[in-house]
Amino acid sequence: MSDGFKLSCVLFDLDGTLVDTAPDLIRCLNRAISRHGFEEINPQTIRPFISYGGAAMVARATHDCDAALQKIMLEEMLEDYQQNIATHSHFFDGIAESLNYIEQQGLKWGIVTNKRERFTLPLIDALNLENRISCVISGDTTNNSKPHPEPMLTACQQAEVHPHECVYIGDAEHDILAGRNCKMKTLAAVYGYLKPDDQPKHWGADALIDSPQQLTHWIHETLCN
């Protein structure tokens, strides 16, 4: 690229960027809240809150519910989810091809997510990624989670790359901020779990990508310049 950027590693957020985990998360949420008398929530209503974690999903689905009951429902949801980690979850359309292209170009790739390790690692295993990935950083791998730079820098240490040779792709503002805090290139995955009031064009990302196919194109253009 014109600024002298040399790409060595592609880092992904997990939920809403690399993998569409919404089907499993929402099914487990609805089972938990319906068990306590709440109506199941429309998937399209709750989908934008997935990037903010299970507690945010429960809070959105049950609104003014007692906090103690919300905690119980959250624990039930997560226990259910751990047992059904990849029943319906799948790569976003085009991600498999993007990963193949990344590897064909001799680039490393990895995951930096705020998802807890108890969910991240089984999901990676279920998707048969454990032997392909250069680094995996979960929300509880380091003392701080995104947008703090610590998980990003730890990912670089694992992958043995420099932050300024990485691009980070995520679907939430805190993802872009995390990458920028480490002087990485950043791409906003606007095909992910965006809220209606999100304004990704104001997040400061280097580019917006509407699909994984656009990611592959961005990487190709970067390598050719």
Sheet order of strands, 108-112 included: 135-137, 108-112, 9-12, 166-170, 185-189, 207-209
CB atoms within 10 A of CB 24: 20
CA–chain centroid gap for 208, Å, is 15
Indicate which residues carry an active-site annotation.
13, 15
Rounded Cα distance, 215 and 222, in Å: 10
For residue 219 the two structure tokens come to 């990487």
> What does DSSP assign to residue 92?
P
